[in-house]
Structure 1
Amino acid sequence: MTRVLFAPDGFKGSISAADAATALAAGWRSVRGGDDIVELPMADGGEGTLRSFLSAVPGARRMPLTVTGPHDREVAASWVLLPPAADAPDGTGVVELASTSGIELLGGARRPFDAGTGGFGQAIAAALDHGVSRLVLAIGSSASTDAGFGALTALGARITDAEGRDIVAGLRGLRTAVRLDRSGLRALPPGGAVVLTDVRSPLTGAAGAARVFGPQKGLGPADIADADAALARAASLLGIDATLPGAGAAGGTGAALRAWGAELVPGAERVADLLGLADAVAAADVVVTGEGAFDASSAAGKAPARVGALARAKGRSAGLVAGRITPDADTSGFAAAVALVDLAGSAGAALGDPGRWLTAAGAELARRWG
């Protein structure tokens, strides 16, 4: 009997990693019903990270709470409590920016000047209130360019303008900030905090948060220079090097968390370690991974590249499924690769019913393995 491990990332804006794994597994079973199937949905620190931990870690608990979202309205959110471990006797709190301050919460709207990270900070504070031993902070899918000042404020910092008034949320407030008072800022838990991100951008400059990611969040060409200057001032207030890789993640939230004392780590790699991916790959005969778009950048820390590399290192055969596979993508490390757009006939059809086409992809891979 063949053991098949399904370890996809989420298909951004389409289907979660957990649902993608289930659909792929269902398709495989329709062709090879006697195989042993294991589902281990992955993440790289963006949307779906909480669900990955809930699905993969026995005893993980969802901890509901209400936070202020990037639209300034209440959001029913949660963080995840991982069970006690030798190095975290009071458990680990996993907090996700995507579900508290993420761009998906805005729907099709954008708030380039007013969206902030306050809700994310509120969720971190809730985990600290619970008494966790350490924090795992996933910061993908940000809606804002506020240098993480909203999160720091929720954690007890006071950030004021030239008149001594508390700044407003978002980039609008960041542009007026002149003083950061950390005297009330909460301490890290005893085991510290790691920040999961697949973005290695600096805070400022040509590859920085404003120029690279600002347009995705609604900033126009005329806004970029001003936003970059505000982020440079934020670096000074935070006392951090603006060129630090990862400081520009999540609109500069990486910089704020690093200044707080957290460690910035590659998201896909650390999630894989925390979920026990290496052991799961070693126990499998075939490994199937995937993501929404597999392109030239996928090799730089994305979850499918990590899964594929582990499979090759352990001598396991690997398959790839993606919404689309671009011509510049390197799929040479996979025994088979399937694009949903090819099965569905168009990107619109694939996006319209991702579960159906992921099931079809799972069946196609099973036939290729014969």
Structure 2
Amino acid sequence: MTEPLNIAVLSIHSSPIGTLGTGDTGGMSIYLLELVRALAERGHKIDIFTRVLVRGDAPLIEYGSRIRIIQLQVPGTENLVKNKLFGYLPDYQREIDKFCQQQHASYHIVHSNYWLSAVVGDSLQSTWGCPHLITFHTLARFKMAARQDHVENPLRVEEESRLLARCDGVMVATATERDQLATLAESAKTPVHLVPLGVDFDRFKPLPDAVEKVTRSRRRPPVILFVGRFDPMKGVDTAVKALALLDEEIEPELHLVGGDSPESEAEVRLVSLVDDLGLQGRVRFNGSVDHQRMPEMYRQADIVVVPSYYESFGLVVLEALASGIPAAVTPTGIAVETIIPDLNGYFAAIGDSRSLARAMTDALALARHQDPFLIRRSVQSYDWSRVADLVFSVYSGALLRSETC
């Protein structure tokens, strides 16, 4: 199929234009915006359905050529965390149906992101009669397997299994997730497609060689960068503990990008940990940073640390490597497929601050002599143009199968 498609993208719980690094907004938002931009450049029309996060926000935003963001207004849900949204999903579906009737909109494909959106997408598929594809981004059973103290609502586990059996295909971002899903998907006879995320190489890139060397020589102490939500699954506390174990002669700083606010429970706990370890002045809380500023944040860092217990992908790894910055990581998400020791980073055991301290030390040493452009070339195949082509191929296959049923 080569003609342009009308695509309905569902992101009910998290707005793609929300504040990154806070609450329920993270890498998925970047994925959605970059993907739809690349699809729109190929002539496809995309409507993204999400919820209003601030009362009074415009119900419809023209987000560039051929992209619309429809912010669904369901009273009482603006400030709800995602775990409280399930009971309101029929209301969101009714708002989508109302919009489509008013706009005379119809779609070739429904692409749901996260399980809550997939519940709505499953119902819309029954009404619209078009293929329904899901990118779960995270799966409850895998998160619980990653941390013994992590608990998920049994309803989510049940719904994810049901949706996996009913949809027309699932897109996963890593080979690890594909293999984890293989048994479940095989029993459900659901196609599983490997479609990685990408990175904008025009924005995320090293400084020119001469400037890079001068900048690094002047940067004292070294900077270790963490980017992400202050969620226990992200392991930021492990990074803080690892910092305390590093050689006192190096005394690097840990710069944290993310978090809801200084008053949030997660940040208060982190500040307390920093105080207990005597790291005042060596840990900088930067708060949420607009994604447009992130290339600058990476270039100001010596290394990036990604100490997650579980990642369905881990976009920060790609952005760091594209910027020529080595990474100290746990073996989760895309890091498993991209990190090559002595070339672009080092691995640490999950939840092990001593192991992470060793990986951070090795990455800092690597940063002092490695060519940033060698690091960048290690991820050169992960561009959004290629991702869009893969997604379109999945869409086309689903449409072809639906026509032959």
TM-score w.r.t. length of structure 2: 0.33
Larger % of helix: which? 2
Structure ranking higher on relative contact order (CA contacts 8 Å, 6+ apart):
1
